[in-house]
Structures are given as C-alpha cells and as structure tokens.
Amino acid sequence: MPHLQFELNLRPPAEEKRRFAEAMVQHFARIMDTGTDHIGITFRCYDTDDLVFGRAEQPARGIAFLNADIRRGRTPDQKRRLALAAIDELNRFWKIPKRSVYVVYTEHDGEHFQLEERVLASWSAGEDPLSDPPR
C-alpha cells in the first residue's frame, strides 16, 4: 500500500483535497504500473510558519513536502515522473511554487504493507495487489 503523505503550510478546503487526492491516485497508478484500491493519501495541514524549507523563496505562497512510502522495485524514472506529477499538481491546485516542494521516497519490502486480508508482495510490473490472489 503506497502511502503518500502531503505536508502543507496551508489549509485547503476538503473538496479540493479530495480532488487533489483523486488526481494523485491516478498519477500513481499510471506511473507506478499498479491498481488504485491500495493507495493511501494523507494530508497534514499547518499554519504558514510551521514548515521551513531553505530554498522556498516565498514561504507564504506555500511549501509542500511529500513523504512517499512505496514498495521496493520501482525504477528511478518512475520515481522521478511521480515526483514531477506531484509537484505539478501542487502548483496547479494551490499555486505552490515548484521550487517550494520536496519529495522524499522510502522504499519497503512488500511484507511491510499489511491489510486485513493479506500481506502485499513486493511490486512487480502490471500488478494490482488487491485483485491478485492473496499470498
């Protein structure tokens, strides 16, 4: 289960967060070559001065961090494409300057992702871990 944790120094309305999350789920599934039902997204929304990022030239316009916990096996190109998609969406939705976004990946073996009915396997191309038979 990928877990995309967005930390923002702004507080978007619930409907905007929902639409942003839907866009990110679609990007993740397409770029990372997987299904959508196991993708988790969280938002941590803070006040303007609660996030600091040295290269952010105008923090009041927005800062965003994405901590992405993913299963091991994705290529550097996939990770780069997802990072750029997230940066673009943050800019499109909330006008966060692209230079004010930082993406960090943490990779895990599949068994680190646990659901009620199964333990996920490590990633493989074209898989959908919730429609594939449990292991």
Integer Cα distance of 34 and 57 in angstroms? 36
- Pick from 3-7, 34-38, 121-125, 130-134 the range whose average pLDDT is largest: 3-7
Is 28:82 a contact under the CB 8 Å cutoff? Answer: yes
Tens of pLDDT along 35-72?
A: 898 899 999 999 999 999 999 989 999 999 999 999 88
DSSP-based three-state secondary structure for 69: strand
pTM (2 d.p.): 0.86
The answer to whether residue 135 scores a pLDDT higher than 60 is: no
The structural domains of the chain, ordered by start, are 3-112 (3.30.429.10)
Integer Cα distance of 7 and 26 in angstroms? 20
Integer Cα distance of 64 and 93 in angstroms? 12
